Amino acid sequence: MELLVASAVGVLTAAGIYLILRRRTFPVILGLSLLSYAVNVFLFATGRLLVGAPPILNKYEEVAYTDPLPQALVLTAIVISFGMTAVVVMIALGAYLSSKTDDINMDDAAEAGEDA
């Protein structure tokens, strides 16, 4: 299971970074989303992987439990990355509509778009 989770994080990160290095905003945003999935899975795994164990201590009997803190962290991270994705989509849309290009670079193309 460790191998599966680790390679999932690795593949998601690699794909995310590849997409972020593209020049147009849509792939970049997809890349950021993939990267945030990778981060979430990674954070979840930092409490060590356990199957079928609740994140609650049981004081009446000795049972396996999993670390609840990463789950709380991942919840926060999911909410934040969800909000951030919405913001970046809106800003990218604004940039596309105002400059008529979804190129992420700010060079001559941007100035040409400003005149249009």
Partner 1 sequence: MNHLLIAPVVLPAVVAPLIAMVTRHHIDLTRIFSLAASVALVVITLVLGSQALDGSVQVYELGNWKAPFGIVLVLDRLSAMMCILTAILALVINLYAVGTGWDKRGSNFHSLFQFQLMGIQGAFLTGDAFNLFVFFEVLLIASYGLTIHAGGARRFQAGVQYVVYNLLGSSLFLFALGTIYAVTGTLNMADLAVKVAELSPDNTALLRVGAIMLLLVFCIKAALLPLHFWLPASYAEAPAPVAALFAIMTKVGAYAILRFFTLIFGPDVQATTGLAGDWLLPAALFTLAAGAVGVLGARDLGRVIAYGAITSMGTLLIAVSLFTPEAAAAALYYTVHSTFAAALLFLVTDMVVERRGAEVTPKAPMAQNGLIAALFFVGAIALAGMPPISGFIGKLLVMDAARGHEMVWTIWAVILIGSLVTILGLARAGTIIFWKSYDATTEVPEPATEAVDTQRAASLPFVATFGLVVGLVLLTIFAGPMSSFADATANQLFTPEIYIENVLGDTK
Interface residues toward partner 1, by CB under 8 A: 20, 25, 28, 32, 35-36, 38-39, 42-43, 45-48, 69-70, 73, 76-77, 80-81, 83-84, 87-88, 91-92, 94-95, 98-99, 104, 106, 110-111, 113-114
- CA–CA separation, 69 and 56 (whole Å): 11
When the beta carbons of 64 and 69 are compared against partner 1, the nearer one is: 69
- CA–CA separation, 62 and 9 (whole Å): 32
- Minimal distance, residue 10 CB to partner 1, in Å: 12
What tokens does 109 get? Answer: 């193309």
Angle at the Cα of 30 (from 28 to 34), degrees rounded to 5? 115
When the beta carbons of 66 and 81 are compared against partner 1, the nearer one is: 81
